[in-house]
Every structure is written in structure tokens, then in C-alpha cells.
Amino acid sequence: MAVQSTASAADTREQLSAPSTSDVSSPLDKERLDNSGSRSGPNEADCKNARERVIRTAGAARSYGCLTWLSPSEGKTALRKGAATGPDGASASAVLDVPLPVNDCTGDEDGYWYATRTMQCQIAPNVKYSYYSSDNKLLGTALFATAQQLDLATNSLQWTETDQITMLSSTGTLPAGLSVSWTTSCSSPCAPGTTKLWTSAPISLGQNLKKTYTLTDQPSTGYDYIDLDYQLSIGSPDAIDLLPPITWGGAEVRCDNKISVADKAGCVVPWYTPTLLIPRSQYGSSADMLEWAQNNLSGHWGLRGTGQPLHRLKNSSQQASNRQAICGTSKFTKDPNIQDDTCDEFPFAGTYESGALNGVDHGKDCAQVTAVRADTSGNLAVDWPTVTPTGTVSGSEKCVRGHIPGALNSDVGSAYGVFVKDKLLADNDPFWLRITF
């Protein structure tokens, strides 16, 4: 994903009049960070306690404002209500059909962080502002949605973040001069360490504040794990803030300078597990062998939903040793009935799941399969599309070894090498494997 131009980093305010979010779809294969929905902040009980304290100690009559964080379920409930009723059951003083802000998380507006390898985003109606009189009477409320998106690149140590906040609805009366302050903190070695998106920026019903800005990793000799943290306050000069600003995190970036891959410097979302796709139409019996092993052997290596991910092994000497253990010339005899027969193994020698790293020192102890010829078209994937087991298979073997036409075997290896570079896999990084058509 290309880094956006910094020319788009200008602060923009716009009245949202876009279609509803149901009209916008995002086809990305996003993964959810499950614990991000548990982020906490001041709630209604905190607001009530703060009001009671200040009323007991206040020396002058003043109005008060409370900014509270809504959980994903509370945000959905607030959005469904649409601010249809105001304080004390009165009709809402101002309600507009205001859409949620839009980014690559459109369709997943539940407050959780989602990611691909080079993108992380969230959208949620998750912030409520409540305005109280000096005698503790609710005068009005406002519901806000936040949206965030980080766009990374595996060939750049810079990335952009786009943050948005929209005032979705209001009820009753709100204080004059309601405004937003938002600060992003980026942990070392990221620069700048602090970005102030808005400082007391006015906001009103239906308005969307949006800003895109650039962040940069200052490369070190190792992997740089960078956390992003955020602070948000909404208030008015006419109301005393009862609670501290809302803070949250959950966004994470990993950058490296030619460590994962010798000729690349870039950044990824480290908790996203990418998937290596191996099409049968291109890799024939080699692809079939991988799928056969995933489905028939107890390891289920890389099979999402059943097995565990595979993990990249970077050390080239160890890779060569793994291949020698399973497919060494003294350990594998070619089959003259297989066109350009070669020894194919799975899990790959370039993974920590290789049989050679898990107690196997000879390929004869792997499950054995052989390619089956189906045609003579000259297209290897068509001519040799499947495999069949040979000998006895218990299902508990720690690897599979196959007689596979050479080009199909080497092409899968090349596909894995390209995948490592494209996804900037570090040593021991997990990945899934899926066989497609």
C-alpha cells in the first residue's frame, strides 16, 4: 500500500452528506484485534461521582461537562436511539441524519481495531458529552464517532495516519463554543513523538473533523515496535470539565531497516497474520500435496481454523540442513515414472515447523505421496494435478515427502520466497497457508 502524499495532511472540516455506511463496502481481508474492544475510559458512574463531589465543594454556581467513553455495545445502542429523546424525556432539540465517518473499516463500525499487513483502522460511535447545570440537572448531550486509519508500506519507513471525529447527534442544550482537542503520541524511535491534531477546534452537529499526517521510524539496528496512543478532550469555556481526557491505544507498527529482507526497509502491522495463497491451477500436484497434508496429518500446518500458523525460518544454513535431512541425495530416490521427479517436502524447510526441526532426521519417516498423471497437454499443473499416498500413513507423521515434477516443486518454493518479501516476514513471523483453485 503506497504512502499517501503529505499534501493531504491539511486539517479539513466538512459537513457530512455521504450515503449511509451500508452503501459502502470494504472487501479487504481484515483481522480483528479481539482485546481492543475492552479499552476503558470514564463512564456514566464516574461522571455521577464527579458531579456529586463538585457540588459538595463548589464555591460558585457553574455548569459542568462530562466526557465519557462508550463501549462497543453502548455505542451501538446510542447510535440506534439516534438521540431521539432529550433530557427528561423531551424531544431532541437537534437531530440530523449524520453518517459515521468512512475509512477501510466501514462495515465494521464496532470499536475494535482491524488490520491487514499494511493497514490498521477502527470506526465507532464511542464518545458522549453530557452537559449539566450547577444543580446537577442534565441539560443536553452530544454523541461523537471517531475513525482512525494507519496506512503503511513494506518499502518505506514512513506511514500516514488519518484521524476523524464526527458529531453525530445532540439533545437539549449544549454550552457555547464546544471544541475538540486531540493528541497522538508515537513511541520512540518514531518521529514526531507528539502530534497535536486539534487544539480547541470548534465542532458542531453534523461536522466532521479530519486530518492526515505523516509519521516516520528512525531506523535502529533491530526491529522497532512502535505503539500509538491517543488523548481526546471535548469541552467548552462555559462548562467545568469534570473528568480527565479520554485516552486509548491499540495501534501498533513494526519497522525494520533491511533486517527481515536484505534489500527492503519498511513497516507492517505485526499482529496481523498474512495468508500465503497457493493456486492448484498454477502448482498442480505440489499444491495438492500441501492440502493433503493439511487435511490428513495431525499437524494441520497453516490450516486456519484447524491448525496453527507456520512460522518463517530466516537462517539459510538451517534451511539447507532441514532440506538435507528430508530430501538429501542419499535419502531420496527419484521415480522414473514422474516427469523430472524431485523431492518435495512440507512443512517447508524455511519454516520452524520443518520435520527436521521436530525430531525427523530422514525423509522416510515422513508420510509419503506421489504425483498422479492425468493428461499429456504439456501444462504440468494440468498433467500432474494431484497426489496419492504410498505406503502406510498413520496421520501422526511430522511431515510429508512427495515425488513431484521439478518445476511445480520449485515454483511453490519461489512463491513462498516472494510472499516473505511482499509481507516483510521477520524470523518466526506466523503465516497461514491456503490452497485455492
Q: How far apart are CA 304 and CA 415, in angstroms?
A: 19
Q: Can you give the pLDDT at residue 53?
A: 86
Q: Can you give the pLDDT at residue 82?
A: 57
pTM listed for this prediction = 0.88
Q: Can you give the pLDDT at residue 96?
A: 52
Q: Which residues of the chain are modeled with pLDDT < 50?
A: 1-27, 37-38, 83-95
- The full 3-state SS of 401-432, as one line of letters, equals EEEEEHHHHHHHHHHHHHHHHHCCCCCCCEEE
Q: Can you give the pLDDT at residue 57?
A: 75
Compute the Cα dihedral for 244, 245, 246, 250 and give only its sign: negative
Q: How far apart are CA 132 and CA 185, in angstroms?
A: 31
Q: How far apart are CA 246 and CA 129, in angstroms?
A: 11
262 contact partners, CB below 8 Å, separation of at least 6: none
Q: How far apart are CA 368 and CA 364, in angstroms?
A: 8
Q: How far apart are CA 409 and CA 345, in angstroms?
A: 9
Q: How far apart are CA 354 and CA 293, in angstroms?
A: 13
Per the DSSP assignment, residues forming a β-bridge with 370 are 388, 403
Q: How many CA atoms lie within 13 A of 361 on its CB side?
A: 0
Q: Can you give the pLDDT at residue 28?
A: 60
DSSP code string of 139-178:
EEEEEEEEEEEEE--TT-SEEEEEEEEEEEEEEE---TT-
Q: How far apart are CA 150 and CA 287, in angstroms?
A: 34
Quick one: what percent of the chain has pLDDT higher than 70? 88
Q: Cell numbers at residue 152, please?
A: 503503511
409 contact partners, CB below 8 Å, separation of at least 6: 286, 342, 343, 344
pLDDT digits (tens, 9 = 90+) for 180-217: 999 999 999 999 999 999 999 999 999 999 999 999 99
Q: Can you give the pLDDT at residue 59?
A: 59
For residue 293, the surrounding DSSP H or E stretch is helix 280-296
